[in-house]
Chain A
Amino acid sequence: MTTLTDPPAESFKLSMLVYDTRYRSYTFQILALIGVLLLFGWLTLNTLRNLADLGKVISFDFLGAPAGYDINQRLIEYDNQDTHLRAAFVGLLNTLLVAFLGCITATVVGVVVGVLRLSGNWLVARLMTVYVEMFRNVPVLMWIILAMAIMIESLPAPSAFRGDDPEATMKLFDSVAFTNRGVYVPEPLFSRGLGDLSIGGAFDISLDLIAIVLLLIGSIWVSRRIGRNADAVQESTGLRPRTWPKQLAVIVLPTVILLVVLGFHLGYPELKGFNFQGGTHMRNSLIALWLALSLYTAAFIAEIVRAGILAISKGQTEAASALGLRSNRIMSLVILPQALRVIIPPLISQYLNLTKNSSLAIAVGYMDITGTLMGITLNQTGRELETVLLGMLIYLLISLAISAVMNVYNNSVKLVER
């Protein structure tokens, strides 16, 4: 017979919080947490009290007041009688525009440079090294200002296009004007357009654009169906039918017909009064910011791409070439798909950097969210804390959204393990 005795009940003593290794780490972590919370609480309270002392109570009412200022680049309708909120939104769209253009350009340039930097051609490889080192070792603000200065000083003013024997002429069959106020390119116009769709009375979206996009999506879906059918035929018979004429026709023909129906034509820029009128005006601030941000970020992306490629074992290349693949196909079919797994995660942070760096836009007078909400609105209303907090929140949301999208993509290309 065995007697079971309870283990002696351990009485908890306060000193065990420090001397007992089971509790010690928790004790210190909780103490640190309390300290951090107290610090933040003190900062917040202090800020609020000081603002109250100054007679400034935190309030976001100013967002509903008329902004009173104009913004040159507007992707949605806006005039100076609209609210600060709408002005902030115009700025937000400008931020998103330059971030979007910048990310695409930076990726294209970055991948090309990254691959070329590994080229066997000595000259090409060295040139790319020079590019990478030059761009990533100089602050991006300098590049932005330099790009703007070049645009302003080297291109002709619109007045140079005037007169019988002008100093400057429009390029590309008189359709594009390069001036120091930006580039004027022909704009698409529809003589039998469908009009605009108003969303909640706040935004107008062109129905023409929606129609074209929907049609393109439909066409691409059909074209992929054709491709899949061809795959099936290939699987069963071993012969792949020729698909590209059909696929091309499915995409091009409906689009052309729709454009003709809508009465598509180009509106050319024309010098009238002080400026070119008509056409799409790509402002020099947008171009300078876009170029500088993308070339700067591309240098980092090139290094990431290079690292990704070098991470793939040389055996892969050798195996592929033993199978008879040519070197550019080895790169696109064997190396890059595997390298993407290494490339995507750091690429996300480069996209985030580019987006955040776009807040330097005010250096060239590009009205992004920093220029509108945290610039003019801040200045005209004197609401430093509110606008800056709101601005930070917006950047945070943009960044999180980019991360989320890129993470989805990353999951789709990452190695599926069994």
Chain B
Amino acid sequence: MNKSVFLGALTVAGLAAGVAGAATVDDVKARGKLNCGVTTGLVGFAAPDANGEWTGFDVGVCRAVAAAVLGDPTAVEFVPTTGKTRFTALASGEIDLLARNTTWTFSRDVDLKFTFVGVNYYDGQGFMIPKELGVSSAKELDGATVCIQTGTTTELNLADYFRVNNMSYEPVPIETNAEAQQQFLAGACDVYTTDASGLAATRATFENPGDYVVLPEIVSKEPLGPLVRHGDDEWGDIARWTLNALIAAEEYGVTSANADELAASPTDNPEINRLLGTEGELGAMLGLEADWALNAIKAGGNYGELFEKTIGENTPIGLARGLNAQYKDGGLLYSPPFR
């Protein structure tokens, strides 16, 4: 175990050299596949379906980037990562893009040398607890046993929250969501804490979701977004603007259904024209084909479509748009202009 970690660390260091030199976009094109880091399985965000196909909200981002760069949304190699292994995987070049409910924080951006390309889900940390315990507020959790995924920001938020509120707790560190689920369902911990979206997704997979409640308190800001390595700005731009394209597409009403039609000939909305490549040379500026954004949108639909399909109110996860609505609808989604 120790040895493998060490070798892993050496490989990290060794591989990093090769990575820093070549441009990631060239590597991806040469490989013909995008290596995308996702969770080991969180229904709604990234999990293999019955046919072994990865689906989910984060998976959608991976597919959109693959479609923009390679023109093929299926040209993705999904690499499952845990909370602990994800940064090493990205830093070492094992993956090109990490789309794994990762919270954008100062130290991850600055100290760990990653570039967050945007936010694809505005989240906050919540608590889930069995109904029978009769708890209605996180303030009543003094003395509780709390299951947490180790290596996440939730661990630190939890410590802060209980310290500030002068409560004690017993942390039970856990590697993956599945293990946490097992312990929580068996009653080995009273509370399971992670991002509210993750709680909703986990709860949806329970046999009796109704027996569990998510407490109203949201104790932290968790802007989740995809990230890339520092130092390769071209690749960062591609990922950033692919995400923006999905958001802008929703704003301008470009969907997977009408995108082809809108791209056939210039429309009277110049913003759409530039986005879909019928006007200007935005694709060439990124070093991609002119239809890069069109492909990205067709991969899984615009932001709103992707949301509704994977985690929206009509899915078992049942998340409302909330903060993740367009700015026009009172949310925080706001894509910079395409020009």
Contact = CB atoms under 8 A, between A and B. Distances in A.
Interface string B171-196: 11111000000110011111000000
A274 B87 contact: no
B188 A272 contact: no
A382 B112 contact: yes
Interface in B255-312: none
Interface string B7-49: 0011011101100100000000000000000000000000000
Given A159-B133, A275-B144, A275-B145, A80 B163 contact: yes
A274 B14 contact: no
Nearest to B110: A55
Interface in B86-101: 87-88, 91
Interface stretch (A69-77, A191-199, A410-418): A69-77
Interface stretch (B68-76, B149-157, B210-218, B233-241): B149-157
Interface in A365-380: 365, 367, 370-371, 374-376, 378-380
The secondary-structure label for the interface of chain A is helix
B6 interface: yes
Nearest to B13: A47
Contacts of B313: none
Interface string A280-292: 0000110000000
Contact of A70 (B6, B169, B186): B169
Contact of A152 (B144, B170, B188): B188
A365 B143 contact: no
B5 A388 contact: yes
A149 B91 CA distance: 34
B188 A157 contact: yes
B5 A54 contact: no
A359 interface: yes
B13 A273 contact: no
Given A159-B187, A275-B143, A46 B156 contact: no
Contacts of B150: 362, 365, 371, 375-376, 379
Given A388-B9, A395-B2, A181 B20 contact: no
Contacts of B132: 159
B83 interface: yes
B2 A72 contact: no
Contacts of A180: 186-188
A400 B12 CA distance: 29
**In this complex, which of B10, B13, B133 has the most chain A Cβ atoms within 10 angstroms of its Cβ?**
B13
B113 interface: yes
Contacts of B320: none
Interface residues of B, number: 54
Contacts of A243: none
B114 to A, nearest CB: 9
A50 B174 CA distance: 32
B151 A376 contact: yes
B131 to A, nearest CB: 12
A356 B2 CA distance: 8
B13 A46 contact: yes
Contacts of B17: 46, 49-50, 53
Contacts of A382: 87, 107-108, 111-113
A176 interface: no
Interface in A186-241: none
A360 B1 contact: yes
Contacts of B6: 388-389, 392
Nearest to A360: B1
A68 interface: yes
**In this complex, which of A54, A160, A356 has the most chain B Cβ atoms within 10 angstroms of its Cβ?**
A54
A69 B156 contact: yes
Given A272-B143, A274-B144, A384-B88, A376 B187 contact: no
B172 A274 contact: no
B159 A375 contact: no
B142 interface: yes
B155 A69 contact: yes
A269 B17 CA distance: 56
A274 B16 contact: no
A55 B113 contact: yes
A375 B151 contact: yes
A274 B145 contact: yes
A50 B188 contact: no
Given A80-B163, A385-B9, A152 B186 contact: yes
B230 interface: yes
A165 to B, nearest CB: 16
Contact of A370 (B1, B14, B182, B183): B1
B214 to A, nearest CB: 18
B159 A68 contact: yes
A152 B231 CA distance: 46
A370 B2 contact: yes
A51 interface: yes
B44 to A, nearest CB: 24
B83 A55 contact: no
Contacts of B187: 157-160, 180
Given A54-B113, A275-B145, 8 more contacts: A47-B14, A49-B17, A50-B13, A68-B159, A80-B160, A376-B173, A382-B108, A388-B2
Give the top 3 A-B pairs by smallest Cβ distance, nearest first.
A157-B187, A379-B151, A80-B159
Interface of B: 1-2, 5-6, 9-10, 12-14, 16-17, 20, 83-84, 87-88, 91, 107-108, 111-113, 132-133, 141-145, 150-151, 155-156, 158-160, 162-163, 169-175, 182-183, 186-190, 230-231
5 contacts: A50-B20, A273-B142, A375-B173, A380-B155, A388-B9
